[in-house]
């Protein structure tokens, strides 16, 4: 399928290009990045040798009649301004937040500006019906990176935890903040240090996570979410805790999670003696999780790791593209992580 990546100069865009170069069903015809138009792709992403000789183009230079599918890897709020210029016949996967939220007031609270509407939410592991819903659509809203890790980590537990009082502490690599130059993201500031940010429950993925969990649990979900900037380029490690509403042992909780994800190709509930590691997932679309019961406080604890550029962005976008284009879900994504 003839493919365009718009917003390809960023980290998620680069990962899209890397994964698409080895995908048997997608052929990248257009690489767009307005601010880098005219520059060689390899001048910005020297690791992408398969794109040698290819240059970035502006959005206005794209002939959409020659394309079948478009990936949008733009900053939040920018996809909505461009989507009217993309023919409705084309398949689109948007990695931004523009079409994730159903509630316009939540969009205004966390992002500001006008609410663009809502597309099908591209988290296939939510349920078999969600996967089927994605297959029927031409346009998909790719979930956020934190939202992916946290939603998947809590999904099997919604029937035996208090979903109105969930506590999340999650650390992310610096690529999650985008590629724009920021003083607090330079190596001298980040290396050898951890710091919380968007402190006090104001992170924009809060609304997305609560929307997802509320729909699954069929009752209002609330999370207290503290994100942490970690001194690594990529990866997310999330620790989720919630009060149990029934007595469970760690073994029982592990069995429930393992059974829930038994048929999910990309989600691995690890053996009881192993813990998720971000380095095990670098470059992959997989999810690792471990679960335990803190009997002292009667709380469920879940540890979840993903690659924020993989399952948290580009990998998941290709997983969704596979579904809407009729390919097997795992095509081009079955490789393991790089490891330490």
Q: Tell me the CATH number of domain 2-143+311-324, given options 1.10.3720.10, 3.40.50.720, 3.30.565.10, 3.40.309.10.
A: 3.40.50.720
Contact assessment for residue 302 and residue 237, using Cβ atoms and an 8 Å cutoff? no
Burial class (CB in 10 A: 0-12, 13-18, 19+), 199: exposed
Return d(Cα 153, Cα 157) in angstroms, integer: 8
For the beta sheet containing 27-32, the strands, ordered from the edge strand earlier in sequence to the opposite edge, are 27-32, 2-6, 69-72, 91-94, 139-141, 120-121
Burial class (CB in 10 A: 0-12, 13-18, 19+), 218: exposed
Strands 139-141 and 69-72: unpaired
CA distances from 132 to 9, 65, 158, 235, 313 (A): 32, 28, 22, 29, 20
Q: Which helix (H) or strand (E) holds 236?
A: strand 236-244
Domain 146-308 belongs in CATH node 3.30.360.10: yes
Contact assessment for residue 220 and residue 190, using Cβ atoms and an 8 Å cutoff? no
Write out pLDDT tens, residues 93-150: 999 999 999 999 999 999 998 999 999 999 999 999 999 999 999 999 999 999 999 9
Q: What is the mean pLDDT of each run of 10 residues along the chain (340 residues)?
A: 97 97 97 93 96 95 97 94 94 97 96 94 96 98 97 98 98 84 77 91 94 96 96 96 97 98 97 97 98 97 98 98 98 87
Identify the pLDDT of residue 181: 67
The single residue listed with the structure tokens 């290819």 is: 54
Q: Looking at the chain, how many residues does it have? A: 340
Identify the pLDDT of residue 316: 98
Q: Where are the alpha helices (DSSP H) in 47-184?
A: 79-82, 104-110, 128-135, 145-154
* Residue 90 neighbours by CB distance under 10 Å: 16
Nearest to 278 by CA among 340, 193, 202: 340
Residues of the chain with CATH 3.40.50.720: 2-143+311-324
Residues marked active site are found at 145
Q: Which helix (H) or strand (E) holds 315?
A: helix 315-324
Residues of the chain with CATH 3.30.360.10: 146-308
b/e per residue, 25-62, with b = 16+ CB within 10 A?
A: bbebbbbbbbebeeeebbebbeebeebeebebbebeeb
Strands 139-141 and 91-94: parallel
Identify the pLDDT of residue 338: 85
């Amino acid at each position: 399928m003839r493919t365009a990546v718009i917003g390809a100069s960023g980290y998620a865009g680069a990962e899209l290009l890397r994964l698409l170069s080895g995908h048997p069903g997608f052929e990248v015809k257009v690489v767009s990045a307005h601010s880098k138009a005219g520059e060689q792709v390899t001048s910005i992403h020297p690791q992408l040798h398969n794109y040698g000789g290819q240059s970035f183009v502006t959005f206005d230079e794209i002939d959409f009649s020659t394309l079948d599918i478009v990936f949008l890897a733009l900053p939040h709020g920018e996809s909505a301004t461009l989507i009217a210029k993309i023919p409705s016949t084309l398949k689109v996967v948007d990695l931004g937040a523009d079409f994730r939220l159903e509630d316009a007031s939540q969009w205004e609270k966390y992002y500001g500006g006008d609410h663009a509407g809502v597309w099908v939410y591209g988290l296939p592991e939510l349920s078999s019906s969600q996967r089927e819903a994605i297959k029927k659509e031409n346009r998909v809203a790719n979930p956020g990176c934190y939202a992916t890790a946290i939603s998947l980590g809590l999904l099997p537990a919604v029937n035996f935890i208090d979903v109105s009082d969930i506590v999340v502490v999650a650390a992310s690599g610096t690529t999650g903040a985008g590629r724009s130059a920021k003083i607090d993201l330079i190596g001298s500031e980040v290396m050898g240090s951890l710091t919380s940010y968007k402190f006090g429950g104001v992170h924009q993925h809060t609304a997305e996570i609560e929307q997802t969990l509320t729909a699954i649990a069929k009752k209002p979900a609330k999370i207290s979410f503290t994100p942490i900037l970690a001194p690594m380029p990529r990866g997310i490690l999330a620790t989720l805790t919630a009060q149990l509403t029934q007595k469970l042992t760690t073994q029982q909780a592990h069995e429930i999670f393992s059974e829930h994800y038994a048929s999910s190709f990309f989600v691995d509930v690890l053996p009881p003696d192993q813990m998720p590691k971000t380095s095990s997932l670098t470059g992959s679309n997989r999810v690792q999780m471990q679960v335990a019961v803190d009997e002292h406080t009667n709380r469920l604890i879940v540890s979840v790791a993903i690659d924020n550029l993989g399952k948290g962005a580009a990998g998941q976008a290709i997983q969704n593209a596979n579904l809407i284009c009729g390919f097997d879900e795992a095509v081009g994504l079955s490789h393991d992580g790089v490891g330490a």
